[in-house]
Structure 1
Amino acid sequence: MENLNSSTLFAENGPLARAIDGFVPRAAQVDMAAAVGQALEDKIPLVVEAGTGTGKTYAYLAPVLATDKKVVLSTGSRNLQEQLFHRDLPTLIKALDYHFPVALLKGRANYVCIERLGLLSDAVPQLSAEGLADLQKVRRFLPLTSTGDIGDIPGLPERSEILPLVTSTNDNCLGRDCPHYQDCYLVKARSRAMEAQVVVVNHHLFFADMAVRDTGFGQLIPDADAYILDEAHQLPEIAGQYFGQSQSSRLFVDLARDLRLAYKIEAKDMAQLGKAADQLERCALDLRLAFGGETGRGQLRPMLARTEVAAALERLKESLDFSYEVLKLCMGRGEQLSQCFERLISVKAALESLTRVEDKGYSYWYDAHRQHISFHKTPLSVADRFAAELAKDEVSWVFTSATLAVGESFAHFCADMGLSRCRTLQLDSPFDYSRQSRLCVPRYLPETNGAGRGRFLADTLVDTLAAVPGGSFFLCTSYQVMKEVAEVLRARLQRTVLMQGEDNKVRLLEQFSQDGRAVLVATSSFWEGIDVRGNALQCVVIDKLPFSAPDDPLLSARLEDCRHRGEDGFARVQLPKAIITLKQGVGRLIRDVTDRGVLVITDSRLVNRAYGADFINSLPPMPRTRSLTTVAEFLSTLE
């Protein structure tokens, strides 16, 4: 299609105004679109912070559709990915009469695996009653779907225990040898992506693709002329996950179960196979037990020095060696056995790499879940690796988010991403915060890490929440506080109180919006990428400033690295990250020029610590108060 410049695209009588009801061009949106158009042409990377309400999605989509370039759009979450593909992109495709194919592509864990689902019997011994009910939901869904996307399955919890059993991993996928290869939902999705002119992915898949290319074994997403990365503030952390290594004890349990299955189907006479599978599963579970009953993250080096952990790890390695010797005897007897053998070699090598903890420039850490333990080796910086990507010729890069700058500086983001040469653009929100909002930091708050803090905050704010004419978000920095808050509000507040985790995120938001007066209590996944407009959301409570936990192993490794280089770790790492996270949470409140509402931050450090000013200076210019009575007066004007 013909190239159109930003002033033409966004003109009062332009293609967008003609096709979209109520479309009004905004100066900041036009400025951003012009900058994106320039970046697509001259290949100089562009970094844009576009305040809430700028209309940044249209500002980068319109120039993309106005060119004939192949473009990959990457977003921060599957939620945003779907919104972009199903809502924003079709609107602009129609407005600009765009005729090239577009595609949505997610990671393999988002698609039902026909082969693995077929192998499951109706009475899977390890499943609970809820898991078996979820299995039936998947089975009923399959004849009705063309995409196989598990996010479309009604009533399926986000963390259902059935998900690892009905989706594939790199390790257990049979690839072209699978009898269902021609019908595979993942294969079809990747095929559509390769043929499309615009492909919508998410950051996890984007970096998984870079990691796969590093190994020299293929690619997951197509090559493109331009990459537009929305919600770019998430990139440094997600990149670190993929440029490092990870392994969960769940891999060993899954391998043991698939080994048992292969034994029953392809080598019934090999009793040693069953014994090897049982031993491998037991040793993997024992390794989790050796780390104690607590869940959460920690440094891996000191844990591996503990006698009981070292012994459990050694037993796991011995069981892998035993399985290896037994499987060698079965080679050539079946496809499932051959695949298990290849997976075994891979997990053995990864375990060796992750438990050699001497390499410099990495954080070695573990993450303990209720039933599994995962080991991680994460680079302290992705700047050099990403700079190599940016150095490639003939490719355009655009990084954008509502929260990239700290104050007016992009230095933190650019340093993290290896952006030595780029253009930056900071666009303020068009909203009138002085009229539309109030910010309250109440007095007499408890210590930020005190026991029972969630119950105290909920008791303190129950009257304020009751006075909100519309709905409220109560955003917490821990699951413990979230549960305490929800428990108190359900007992004391005559409203629907929803809690994260009790249903799929999309359905929770639908229920929240339809109710109009509900309170949604949530943690980190609701701090960003959520767009609720109008009276359904008139109050956002944030329980405390979102500093990463001081015992977070990745953070402590980065702070140690800063100390070695003579830098202030708090100013270089902790403070910028917390400011950007808070800006994201605050951004949930005012989403439209007609929205009005109250922000309550229950952390007195915002007013009594010197760094509180850094937070305030990065937030929208909301009139501030410390009085909940003043907040109630403002709420009374929202009726």
Structure 2
Amino acid sequence: MSQKYVVVDLETTGNMWEKGDRIIQLSAVVIQHSQIIDQYTTFINPGISIPPFIAELTGIEDEMVEDAPYFFEIAGKIQTLLRDAVFVAHNVLFDLGFLRKEMEEAGYFNVFSNAIDTVELTKILMPESPSYKLSELSDVLGFDHDRPHQADSDALVTAELLLMLIEKVKQLPIVTLEKLTELAFYLKSDIGPLFHELLHEQEAKIENLAEDLEVHRGIALKKKCKPINNQDKKDHPYPLTEEEKVQLLSPHINGFQAREMQFDMMDTIYEAFVDQKHTVIEAGTGTGKSLAYLIPALYVAVEKQQPVVISTYTTQMQEQILNNEIRRLAKAVPFPIQACIAKGRNHYIHLLKFEQTLREKEKHPDIVLTKMQILVWLTRTETGDLDELNFTSGGHLFRYRIQHDGWFMDKEKDSWLSRDFYLFAREKALQSNIIITNHSMLLLDTEKQILPNYQYVIIDEAHHLERTARKSFGEKLEYNSVKYWIGRLGTLEKDFFFKTLESLIKNKKLTPTTHSMELEQVILQMDEELDILYAQLGKLLVNSTENKTVQTRKEFFRITNEMKENLTWQSIVMCAERVYDQHQLIKKGLEERLVLIKNHKEKLAIAEQAFIEEMNSFIQEWTAIGGRIKDIFISPAEEDILWLQGDVKALPNSITVRNEPTEIGPILRERLFQQKNSIVLTSATLSIQGSFHYFLYELGLTKDEIIQKIYPSPFKFEKMAKLLIPTDLPEIRGQVMDRDIEMIASHLLAIAEVTNGRMLILFTSYDMLKKTYYLVKDAGCLEDYAILAQGISAGSRSRLIKNFQQFHKAILFGTSSFWEGVDIPGKDLSCLIIVRLPFAPPDEPVTEAKYERIKEKGMNPFTTYALPQAVLRFKQGFGRLIRGEEDRGVVVVFDKRLDTTSYGKVFLQSIPPIPIERGSLPVILDQIQQWLD
């Protein structure tokens, strides 16, 4: 590799050169002949003060650049370095753009030629990576990156990354590299010439394809190891005594400690399975519940010769069980374990469809990048599960085209059948002792049998089951989604499904009953009628907010049974009926055409066959849309909750219509609990004051028919956490006033300075979060703190958490999903603030409907529903602070209702016993200081 590469990293005072931001440090690493030959690093005097946040992030302060050269003084050196070189950077558009402006300002033009973005290159060659941030890649790859956000360290790591990626390219099969090279010239950065050079080098060598790879129809992929029926029919008695359990687990599990509660939980679950009873178990943090349910699950699976299904809410938990817990136990138990994660078929790649997309001349960079990612991934994946890939936004849309939806044509004619990932996953599930899935899939299986036959289930993270069931047995119809699928269908003028299908019909000389021009007219009519329908829905949403003093991003409007009788709603239903009739005509026309092609005697070309399978996938989704229109507008169940939600500033695009059952318990009882021999429900937050009454009632169960156990956390909470309640904040009931938010913000500022950040602040309202965030941000007291907020700062929840952990002084504002599943162990989090007790808004559609139903039964909605729900949420929020035995911190609750109401004690009695202090802000600050010190 003779080409010279210069890897550049800049540290700047900000992101906008045009607004006066300037470079404060530059580093350039020179690579030639596949090795680092030089590095040039310098501080640069920006001529302006370095902002405190940048100083905190980079460690570069004004004194360090005071005597450094100005940029124009080193511009000639930079030009010499970059001469005849490929410019490389991690996120190249930023560094290249910023440096180009500085060079031009110094009088140097046309300095740069080709440029490579190592972010783009990493996405191609490490398509499964959860993050492409340099610091996180460094951790995963083991690079020495001791000073992130300093240019010399960042540039050197980027250079090492580039060299490692080049080696990865060299290890790819030539057939894969050929396709990558062909596609690479359509990318955003100049990766094409690099791949071309490497391909030329590799072609000069004799290739020996790796033993675990094969090439089929010009695509290299990993060979599959056929699942073996290894079910052990020998007698393996369950370890009943504590001594037997210790002997089984201690030699094989590092750091194993015998815990009486954990062993008792194992026995409870084993006996429940043997006696065929349902069980609910609350297991506090640190109990070791995964191990406690896996041991009995494995023994029962072998005894009964049928799988035990484990259902979790999060993908992360599924992966942890399969890759961590099961692997550890495989060494301990005296029989072979076969375990798998079971997913619906649309999670898997359809190789015939993907092969056809490679023949298409695609120039959109996102789609090209996604095809390249998949080509690399196919040389590694054993599952074909598309969830393994970290797609770009454009890649997510491309995924629809290549996901598996079964076969319309005779599947034996699929040239990829013997290598089909979905069939392989099905076969593996049939041979498994443990089948891991999620709550949605478990519930879907109650309607359409997808999983192999099973009678024993463990539902972990069970506090999510009721909410998941409500969504699973409900419907939603989004304006943008329906418009997307109409757009995918296209017309004779648009080169999408319909136009291609009509060309195929014409070429085969087939004659459908509905003429193409007639069908095209119906497509256009449905598109227009849908706009009318959602315009009417938008008016309802806008009218519902007219009397509101505060408007939020997501407005809700419930359609009650009384409203369904008025003319406005009846007009909407009539419009929906027209949309549905047009939808059905389109569906009928498409299905007829597919059947004509299928029955046609002439053999289909591979491209035609792939298109028909893609068209069949489209029709399946199209059919589901029709079902939703019918269930929501035309024939809804009277007892269902029906509502609109959307942002009134972004109509109609933001509108979603939803319906859900008011009571999910009877459905779950009939479809799930009565159908299975034994179901174990477990979580860390299921009980209130030692009772499971609320949880069981919501699931349609009674205490007489279910075993109940509570295992408290073994952590010594009284020495690890302290609860503080400020007495000088106003008691907030109902509408939150601006002056209340100002007082909350002033308390947060004071607490942040005592704790040096390390704060997670939980809100119940996004509007309140946003107002508080801007008050804290604009106060100017915390300029050297990283202040992050859900919905304001860029990134997903996991990205915000990682960013929070990266800074010494950080504050994270969260609502909704941040109340649970957030795991920030150690000193990164030492202060948790709960702004308000997490009661659901009484006008939220599901809550409002539940209140009405409870009142009809002569019960109190507050004590029956609102209070239990808020207490469980409070427990989940409280659980964010202490995640491990070494954790220590304070919980500050700004809501005085803990003390001033009769129900406040219910919240306090539902968390572990810890010391509680009350007082004004100075007292609270002093208590925090003493506790943390």
TM-based fold match above 0.5: yes
User: In the alignment, what sits opposite 2:341?
Assistant: 104
Q: Is the 8 A contact 1:276 1:322 kept in 2?
A: yes
Shift of 1:490: 5.0
SS in structure 2 at match of 1:18? coil
Amino acid at match of 2:707: R
SS in structure 2 at match of 1:39? helix
User: In the alignment, what sits opposite 2:842?
Assistant: 550
Amino acid at match of 2:578: E
CA offset digits 1:422-469 (Å, max 9, x no partner): 110111111222211111222333536425566653442123233336
Cα gap change, 1:34 to 1:636, in 2 (>3 Å): same
Cα gap change, 1:76 to 1:322, in 2 (>3 Å): closer
Shift of 1:205: 1.6
The equivalent position to 1:5 in structure 2, one of 239, 255, 264, is 239
The equivalent position to 1:206 in structure 2, one of 435, 438, 442, is 442
User: In the alignment, what sits opposite 1:27?
Assistant: 260
The equivalent position to 1:413 in structure 2, one of 682, 695, 698, is 695
Q: Is the 8 A contact 1:117 1:165 kept in 2?
A: no
Q: Is the 8 A contact 2:754 2:928 kept in 1?
A: no
Q: Map 1:11-50; keep pairs closer than 5 Å.
A: 11=245, 13-50=246-283
Whole-Å separation in 2 of the counterparts to 1:189 and 1:458: 52
Cα gap change, 1:265 to 1:590, in 2 (>3 Å): same
Whole-Å separation in 2 of the counterparts to 1:250 and 1:382: 28
Whole-Å separation in 1 of the counterparts to 2:385 and 2:894: 39
User: In the alignment, what sits opposite 2:859?
Assistant: 567
User: In the alignment, what sits opposite 1:222?
Assistant: 452
Cα gap change, 1:280 to 1:459, in 2 (>3 Å): farther
Cα gap change, 1:543 to 1:637, in 2 (>3 Å): closer
The equivalent position to 1:197 in structure 2, one of 419, 426, 433, is 433
Q: Is the 8 A contact 1:512 1:519 kept in 2?
A: yes
User: In the alignment, what sits opposite 2:679?
Assistant: 397
CA RMSD of aligned residues (A): 3.5
Shift of 1:575: 1.0
User: In the alignment, what sits opposite 1:595?
Assistant: 887
Q: Is the 8 A contact 1:79 1:506 kept in 2?
A: no
User: In the alignment, what sits opposite 2:487?
Assistant: 257
Whole-Å separation in 2 of the counterparts to 1:341 and 1:139: 24
User: In the alignment, what sits opposite 1:368?
Assistant: 646
The equivalent position to 1:291 in structure 2, one of 537, 548, 564, is 537
Amino acid at match of 1:318: R
Verify: 1:78 aligned to 2:362, yes or no.
Answer: no
CA offset digits 1:484-509 (Å, max 9, x no partner): 44445555432333444633444444
Number of residues of Structure 1 aligned to a counterpart in Structure 2: 621
The equivalent position to 1:379 in structure 2, one of 650, 661, 664, is 661
User: In the alignment, what sits opposite 2:9?
Assistant: none
User: In the alignment, what sits opposite 1:532?
Assistant: 824
Segment drifting more, 428-437 vs 503-512: 503-512
Shift of 1:326: 5.6
Cα gap change, 1:329 to 1:509, in 2 (>3 Å): closer
The equivalent position to 1:444 in structure 2, one of 708, 719, 728, is 728
Q: Is the 8 A contact 1:32 1:60 kept in 2?
A: yes
Please, which runs of 5 or more residues in structure 2 have no aligned partner? 1-231, 491-495, 507-515, 543-553, 598-611
SS in structure 2 at match of 1:24? coil
CA offset digits 1:119-156 (Å, max 9, x no partner): 698889xxxxxxx7754553343223324555544485
Verify: 1:62 aligned to 2:344, yes or no.
Answer: no
Whole-Å separation in 1 of the counterparts to 2:884 and 2:270: 26
SS in structure 1 at match of 2:695? helix
User: In the alignment, what sits opposite 2:181?
Assistant: none
Q: Map 1:166-177; keep pairs closer than 5 Å.
A: 166-167=399-400, 173=405, 175-177=407-409
Q: Map 1:319-334; keep pairs closer than 5 Å.
A: 319-325=579-585, 328=588, 331-332=592-593
Shift of 1:97: 5.8
Segment drifting more, 87-96 vs 404-413: 87-96
Amino acid at match of 1:317: E
Q: Is the 8 A contact 1:285 1:372 kept in 2?
A: no
User: In the alignment, what sits opposite 2:101?
Assistant: none
Amino acid at match of 2:237: N
User: In the alignment, what sits opposite 1:351?
Assistant: 629
Q: Is the 8 A contact 2:457 2:680 kept in 1?
A: yes
Amino acid at match of 1:18: P
Q: Is the 8 A contact 2:537 2:572 kept in 1?
A: no
Shift of 1:590: 1.0
Whole-Å separation in 1 of the counterparts to 2:387 and 2:749: 34
Q: Is the 8 A contact 2:721 2:891 kept in 1?
A: yes
Shift of 1:47: 0.8
Whole-Å separation in 2 of the counterparts to 1:470 and 1:117: 52
Whole-Å separation in 2 of the counterparts to 1:490 and 1:136: 40
The equivalent position to 1:93 in structure 2, one of 293, 318, 330, is 330
Shift of 1:312: 5.2
Amino acid at match of 2:469: A
SS in structure 1 at match of 2:905? helix
Segment drifting more, 330-339 vs 614-623: 330-339
SS in structure 2 at match of 1:220? coil
Cα gap change, 1:338 to 1:515, in 2 (>3 Å): closer
Segment drifting more, 432-441 vs 248-257: 248-257
Amino acid at match of 2:759: S
Cα gap change, 1:23 to 1:221, in 2 (>3 Å): same
Whole-Å separation in 2 of the counterparts to 1:390 and 1:408: 26
Whole-Å separation in 2 of the counterparts to 1:180 and 1:283: 42
Q: Map 1:100-139; keep pairs closer than 5 Å.
A: 100-107=337-344, 115=353, 135=367, 138-139=370-371
Whole-Å separation in 1 of the counterparts to 2:646 and 2:556: 6
Amino acid at match of 1:66: Y
The equivalent position to 1:277 in structure 2, one of 504, 520, 523, is 523
Shift of 1:161: 7.1
User: In the alignment, what sits opposite 2:785?
Assistant: 495
Whole-Å separation in 2 of the counterparts to 1:466 and 1:93: 49
Shift of 1:378: 2.1
Shift of 1:243: 2.9
Shift of 1:30: 1.6
SS in structure 1 at match of 2:447? helix
User: In the alignment, what sits opposite 1:457?
Assistant: 744
CA offset digits 1:347-373 (Å, max 9, x no partner): 444423322577443322233365253
Cα gap change, 1:511 to 1:66, in 2 (>3 Å): farther
Shift of 1:229: 0.5
SS in structure 2 at match of 1:440? strand
Q: Is the 8 A contact 1:74 1:201 kept in 2?
A: yes
CA offset digits 1:356-411 (Å, max 9, x no partner): 57744332223336525333332222322322346657722111111111111111
Amino acid at match of 1:259: L
Amino acid at match of 2:238: L
Amino acid at match of 1:475: L
Shift of 1:344: 5.2
Q: Is the 8 A contact 2:370 2:391 kept in 1?
A: no
Whole-Å separation in 2 of the counterparts to 1:62 and 1:500: 39
Whole-Å separation in 2 of the counterparts to 1:348 and 1:497: 45
Whole-Å separation in 1 of the counterparts to 2:898 and 2:327: 42
User: In the alignment, what sits opposite 1:426?
Assistant: 710
SS in structure 1 at match of 2:658? strand
Whole-Å separation in 1 of the counterparts to 2:926 and 2:521: 67
The equivalent position to 1:53 in structure 2, one of 286, 293, 297, is 286
Cα gap change, 1:513 to 1:43, in 2 (>3 Å): farther
Amino acid at match of 1:602: F
Amino acid at match of 1:550: P
Shift of 1:252: 2.9
Cα gap change, 1:311 to 1:119, in 2 (>3 Å): farther
